[in-house]
């Protein structure tokens, strides 16, 4: 478990320049955790443990041009290009 307060900075250093879309989609949360921990190992001995978290589907680009209100008051979201499951 993570105890070091500087871990947030270390994590930023490990992931700030990584472009995730260049990677193959992860098949499981364990695959994602392994991928992230391999990169994290370059800057710290601490490891992420994501088993206790749930993945949530997120749109990521929720702006006015991507939302339409229909006549029946239902809402439609467009442009799911950046969407994915996130912790």
Q: How far apart are CA 19 and CA 64, in angstroms?
A: 26
Query: Could you read off the pLDDT of 23-43 as tens digits, one per residue?
Result: 667 778 888 888 888 888 888
Query: Do the beta carbons of residue 11 and residue 40 sit within 8 Å?
Result: yes
H/E stretch holding 11 reads: helix 7-15
Give the model's confidence band at 13: pLDDT under 50 very low, under 70 low, under 90 confident, else very high.
low
Query: Could you read off the pLDDT of 35-87 as tens digits, one per residue?
Result: 888 888 888 888 888 888 888 889 989 999 999 999 999 999 999 988 887 77
Token look-up 């994290």 returns 40
Q: Where are the domains of the chain?
A: 1-52, 54-87
For residue 33, give the nearest of 12, 47, 21 by alpha carbon: 47
Is the pTM higher than 0.95? no
Residue 5's Cβ-side half-sphere holds a number of Cα atoms within 13 Å equal to: 0
Q: Cα 40 vs. chain centroid, distance in angstroms?
A: 15
């Amino acid at each position: 478990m993570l105890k070091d307060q500087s871990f947030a900075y270390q994590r930023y250093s490990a992931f700030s320049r990584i472009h995730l879309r260049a990677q193959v989609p992860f098949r499981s949360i364990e695959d994602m955790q392994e991928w992230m921990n391999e990169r994290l190992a370059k800057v710290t001995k601490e490891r992420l443990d994501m088993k206790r978290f749930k993945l949530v589907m997120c749109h990521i680009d929720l702006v006015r041009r991507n939302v339409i209100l229909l006549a029946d008051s239902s809402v439609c979201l467009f442009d799911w290009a950046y969407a994915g499951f996130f912790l």
